[in-house]
Every structure is written in structure tokens, then in C-alpha cells.
Structure 1
């Protein structure tokens, strides 16, 4: 198929594009920087410079590619675009990404309609943000926690609106867990090694992780099968922070993380960090494995962290 990957030069795009090309697909991948066109060419894609926040730019890029599927993978979380990570103020840290997920989605959907693109796949999120009611591991049928009244709310609410818009046109939303893999958690590992990434309280909040290569393979299956609906793209082992963070430190050759009380973490790192580490609800991948026939190379972050940091 002719596949249009918006955001093809990002950390996921760099793992996804080669898999699509190896699968025999013709890939057009976008970037905001001309300096990355060479990289996209090396990955096997036709690279295009596109401004996801400009409707005309998006429309021209999509029209010239004549794709059979559009994949929305645009974010701006890297240091280049968003500056130093600021988990205390995710509304500010994710400001451009939030626009790409709101305005950018609208522009891509408009371009898809104008060019008659029959299928649309968008990026969602499923790591620690399951609703507090019920158990610790959520399916696609369970509600999400939007953390109303906190700095996390704007971004989480936008993600929900993306889901609504994409599902309305019969597309698919892939709710990825927390990414790790080449280039994905370098900043976190640096903090871990400096013992600046502490456990909060008892560390009982659950999260779901996913290696970039597994996220890419699930995405290719979703494209090839033209699936519709929501899919949690996470590994097999949802886990509390008290399990994965010390293990990450061990794999990174660092000392065990310090512990800080909830009140201090809330003061220093904000509501999202406290919630993630103390109350987070993770996600099940059963639907994706069952309906996509997806097999993970890294079924657990335990395998992936060790290999990544060896």
C-alpha cells in the first residue's frame, strides 16, 4: 500500500518506516526539518517537509502522496522542540504536541477527506492513565482518567478528542504504552543514573511499557489489516513503579532510586508524577494480540530494559 506517515522522523517513525518498507509498502514520511530528509531516504521512504500545524502544507503533502492510509505520529516532545522535560507542567511541556494532536489531527483528517484516503490511524496513549475505578489493569472498554483540574488535563482531554474524531470516520487509534528503545528514554536514564528519578511514596502506581520495535510491528499490522477501533499497544507485564524503576536503575548501572514522600513529590514534580507512581492504572494488550495476531519481541520491560542498557 501507499502509506503516509506524518511524523516519520520521530523515535517511533524511525523504527516503523523500515518495517513498512520491508513489508513492501511505498512510504511517504514527513519531517519538519530538511536536514532529516536524508535520514528518511536511508530508511527507504520518500521524505517530505511538512508543517503539521499548517493546513495548506498538510493538504499539499497528502495530495502529492496519494496514500491509501494516513498514519498520525506527529509529536514535538524532543529537546529540540519542547526543551527540557517538565513533568510538573505537562501542559507547557506538551504545548506543541497538544496542538499537533488537535489542530494537526484536524488538518490530516481534512486532507484525508479531500484526497479520498480510505483509512486513518492515529496515536493514542495507554500507560498509567486508566480510570481509578476497578482493577489495576484496564481494557479498551474501560474509561480513561483525564485528571481534571490538573496540568495534565489539557493533553489527556485532547487525546480523548482525537479518539472520538478518528473513530467517527471509522479509523483506528493505537494507544501506545510508555515508549522505550533507541532514543526514547535517554533523558530518564540520565536522571536515574544521577539518582534524580525517585520513587514516590510506596511506588504502587501501575504503568504499561512498550518497546519501539513492538509498537512499530503492531502499527504495521493495524495498517495492513485496515482495522477500526481502539487498541492498547502495551507489553505483557503491567507493573508498579516499585518494580520497574529499581530494575531500570539496575540495568543502567545506577544506585537504587531514592524515595520521597508524596507531599514533597507533589511540590517538586506535580500531580501527574505523583499519580503515575502512586495511583496509576495500566492496560491489557489482549485485544491487540487476539485481533491483530500481534507477537511481541519484548513481552516484558524486564527483557527490553536489560537488552537496551547492556
Structure 2
């Protein structure tokens, strides 16, 4: 198939391009930076510089590519996660998930794409009947106020994509990424890993949130399965071992050669960074990937973050 990937130079975009090309697909990948086009070409994709918030430019690029499938992997996440930068990146990502998604949908409809796949995430899935939920679970209807714009953007994306009637619309809620290009990796300069080594990623409160993780290569292979044979609707993608935050973070620290994470109460984090990180560390839930396994035959290479952290951070 001919596949148009928006955000192809991102953490999941790069392995996704590589896997699709290896399976014989023709890939057109977008990036916001001309400096990243060479890396995409080296992976076997045709590279295009496009601002996803420019509706005209998106329409022109999609019309030129004439794809059968559009994949939306757009985010604005990267760089040093200072508090100010985190807020800026979050706001930019929200625009990409709303305006950017709408631009891609309009462009796809104009050329008659048959499948549209988009990146969502499981961070703000509502905890209802237990610590792990399947695709019947919705997004949190009452998130912390500082997380409300992000949840609204995710809801817009999921409803817009899965509600299209002119193509198969698929939204994928991924667990937390780790591995090359994600910042949670062994490579020098990996931002999240650097923070863990400096003991700046604490266990907040009791660390009672359930977390689901997925290696970036597994996230890409699940996306390939959705592109090739997915059905309209939602898919959850994570490994087979949801676990409490207080159990996961010490193992991650050990894998990165760091001292165990500190434990801090929620109130100072709430004062400095807001309610959202406290909620994520104390009340978040994990996700089940049984649907994508059952329907699409997907199997993760790293079924547990325990082996993934030990072997897959390189």
C-alpha cells in the first residue's frame, strides 16, 4: 500500500517507517524539520516537510502522495522537559491532535483514503471497574483541571477518527513508550533517563497508580497490524504486565544504573507542577491489549517491562 505518515520523524514514526518499508509498503513521511528529511530517506521513505497546522499545505502534500492510508503520529514532544517547556509542548501537541487531525482527515477524504490510523494514549483512560481497563473504557470525564485541555484534545481525536464514515478510522491508545528515541533509553542525552539517573523522577505519594508500558518497536509493530488489517474503532497497545508505579520505577532506575527513586508526598508536587502528575502517579490505570492480540494476531517482542528494561533500552 501507499501510506502517508504525518510525524514520521518522531519516536514511533521512525521504527514504523522502517517496519512498513521492510514489509514492502511505499511510505511518504512528513516532518517539520528539513534537517530530518535525510534520516527518513535513509529508512526508505519519501520525505516531505509539512506544517500539519497549515491546512493548505497538508491538503497539497496528501493530494500529491495519493495514499491509500494516512497515519497520524503527530506530537510536539521532545527536548528538555523543564516545567515551562512541558507546558509549551503540551499545548502544541493539543493543537496537533485537534487542528492537525482535522486537516489530515479533510485531506484524506478529498483523495479517498480507505484507512486512517491515529495516535492516542492511555494516560487519561478512566479508572472504573479495576486497575486495568479494555477498550470499553472511556477517557476520564473529570480530569484534573491542568489536564483537561489534553484530555479534551485526545477525546476530539478519538471521536473524529473513529466516527468517520467514509473510511476505516482507527485510534490507538498506547501505553508509556520506552526504548530508542523515546527519552527512556540508555543513549547519552536521553532526557527521561537522565532525570531518572539524577533521581528527579520520584514515586509520588504511595505510587499506587497502575502503569502500562510498551517498547517503541512493539508499538510500531502493533501499528503495522492496525494499518494492514485493523477494524474501525479503538485498540489498546501495551505489554502484558500492568504494574504499580512504585514497583516499576525502581526497576527502571536499576536498569539505567541509577539509585532508587525518592519518595515524596503529593502536596509539594501539586504546588510546583500541578495536580496532573500527582493523579498520574497515584490514580492512573493500566490497559489490556487482549483485543489487538485476538483480532489482529499481534504479539509484543517484550511482553514485560521487566525484560524490556533489561534488554530493550539500548
TM-score norm. by structure 1 comes to: 0.94
Correspondence 1:145 to 2:140: yes
Aligned twin of 1:250: 254
Pairwise CA distance, 1:195: 1.1
Pairwise CA distance, 1:5: 0.5
Among residues 100, 110, 113, which one is paired with 1:117 in the alignment? 113
Separation of aligned partners in 1, 2:11 and 2:291: 25
Separation of aligned partners in 2, 1:216 and 1:39: 17
Contact 1:176/1:232 (<8 A) preserved: yes
Pairwise CA distance, 1:290: 0.6
Pairwise CA distance, 1:147: 4.4
Separation of aligned partners in 2, 1:132 and 1:236: 18
Pairwise CA distance, 1:117: 1.1
Aligned twin of 2:273: 269
Aligned twin of 2:306: 302
Aligned twin of 1:201: 205
Aligned twin of 1:95: 91
Aligned twin of 1:84: 81
Contact 1:89/1:270 (<8 A) preserved: no
Contact 2:269/2:278 (<8 A) preserved: yes
Among residues 279, 283, 287, which one is paired with 2:283 in the alignment? 279
Correspondence 1:218 to 2:222: yes
Correspondence 1:104 to 2:104: no
Contact 2:178/2:313 (<8 A) preserved: no
Q: How does 1:136-175 map to 2 (within 5 A)?
A: 136-169=131-164, 170-175=168-173
Contact 2:116/2:170 (<8 A) preserved: yes
Pairwise CA distance, 1:245: 0.4
Separation of aligned partners in 2, 1:306 and 1:193: 16
Among residues 176, 190, 193, which one is paired with 2:194 in the alignment? 190
Q: Give CA-to-partner distance per residue, 1:125-175, whole Å, 9 cap, x none.
A: 114x23233200001001222543511110111111111111111400011
Secondary structure class of the residue paired with 1:20 = helix
Decide whether aligned partners of structure 1 residues 92 and 34 sit closer, same or farther in structure 2, where only a CA change above 3 A counts: closer
Q: How does 1:2-81 map to 2 (within 5 A)?
A: 2-79=2-79
Separation of aligned partners in 1, 2:265 and 2:207: 10
5+ residue gaps, structure 2: 185-189
Pairwise CA distance, 1:226: 4.2
Secondary structure class of the residue paired with 1:5 = strand
Q: Give CA-to-partner distance per residue, 1:20-74, whole Å, 9 cap, x none.
A: 0000000000011111111111000001111100001100110111100000001
Separation of aligned partners in 2, 1:308 and 1:48: 30
Decide whether aligned partners of structure 1 residues 55 and 297 sit closer, same or farther in structure 2, where only a CA change above 3 A counts: same
Aligned twin of 2:129: 134
Separation of aligned partners in 2, 1:40 and 1:70: 17
Matched length: 305
Decide whether aligned partners of structure 1 residues 257 and 226 sit closer, same or farther in structure 2, where only a CA change above 3 A counts: closer
5+ residue gaps, structure 1: none
Aligned twin of 2:187: none
Decide whether aligned partners of structure 1 residues 89 and 240 sit closer, same or farther in structure 2, where only a CA change above 3 A counts: farther
Decide whether aligned partners of structure 1 residues 95 and 296 sit closer, same or farther in structure 2, where only a CA change above 3 A counts: same
